[in-house]
Amino acid sequence: MNDKDEELISKYNNGDEDSLRILIDRYTNHIYNFSVRFVGVNNTPDVVQDVFIKVWKNMGKFDVSKSSFKTWLFTIARNTITDYLRKKKMKVFSELNKEDEEFTETIEDEALLQDEVIERLEDKEYLNSLLDKLPNNYKEVLILYYQEEMTFAEIGESVGKPLNTVKSWHRRALIKLREEIDR
C-alpha cells in the first residue's frame, strides 16, 4: 500500500491489477477536489470516472522518465474537464490576455496576502466562493500549488506552460484574490 506511484505502475503493467486500484484510491479525492472547482458538485462524479477510465486505458503509454504520475494524472484531468466544458459550451481554461502574460513582478509576495487576510480565508465557504470568482487558469494554479502542493515546474508541465507563465499566473491569482476580498 505504501509503494511509490511509479512502482505501482510498473506492477500494474506486469499484470498486478490491484496496483491500479491502489492508485485510484490514492488519487480519487485529489481529482474530485480539483474537478469540482470547474464543473460543479453534480457533474464531478462523471468527470472523475472519465479521468480514471482514461488513465486505465493509457497506463501502458505512461512514461515514468518523462513526468511524475501525479503530473500526468492532472494533465488528463485538465483535458477531461476542458472537453466537458466545451461540450457544455462553458468557459474553458482560456488563454489570458497579453497584459496578464507580461505582468511585471512589482509587488512583494508577502505583501499580497497578509496574515489577517489569510485568517479571513479560514472560512471554507468564503474561500470557495472567492475561488469561484477567479478565472479558471488562476484558480487552477492556486489549487495545484496550495492544495495539491505541486511545484511551479510540475504545474507548468501539467498545464503545458513555461515556468515563468505559471509564476505570473500565480501572482496574478493572489492579486485577484486580494481584490475579491477587498470588494
Q: 39 near 65, Cβ under 8 Å?
A: no
Return all residues near 175 (Cβ < 8 A) that are at least 6 apart. 107, 112
- C-alpha to C-alpha distance for 183 and 180, rounded to whole angstroms: 5
Of 3, 32, 75, 176, the one binding another protein (CB under 8 A) is 32
Cα 142 to Cα 32: distance, rounded to the nearest angstrom? 16
- Cα–Cα distance list, 58 to 19, 34, 47, 86 (Å): 15, 21, 17, 22
Toward another protein, which CB reaches closer, 54 or 101? 54
- Judged by CB under 8 A, the residue of 6, 7, 45, 179 near another protein is 45
Cβ proximity to another protein: between 161 and 170 the closer is 170
Per rule CB under 8 A, is residue 58 in the interface with another protein?
no
Retrieve residue 3's grid coordinates.
Answer: 509503494
Q: Identify each DSSP E strand in the chain by its residue range.
A: none
The sign of the dihedral angle between the CA atoms of 107, 108, 109, 112 is negative
- What's the min distance (Å) between Cβ of 130 and another protein? 10
Q: Give the residue with the Cβ less far from another protein, 28 or 164.
A: 28
Q: Shortest distance, CB of residue 181 to another protein, whole angstroms?
A: 12
Binding of residue 146 to another protein (CB under 8 A): yes
Measured CA distances, 27 to 10, 99, 148 (Å): 17, 35, 11
Figure out which of the listed residues 17, 99, 102, 182 binds another protein, where binding follows CB under 8 A: 17
Based on the shown chain and the rule CB under 8 A, indicate whether residue 143 belongs to the binding site for another protein: yes
Instruction: Tell which positions 63-92 bind another protein, by CB under 8 A.
Output: none
Return residues touching another protein (CB under 8 A).
Answer: 15, 17, 20-21, 24-25, 28-29, 32-33, 36-37, 41, 44-45, 48-49, 52-53, 56, 109-110, 112-113, 115, 118, 121-122, 124, 127-128, 131, 142-143, 146-147, 149
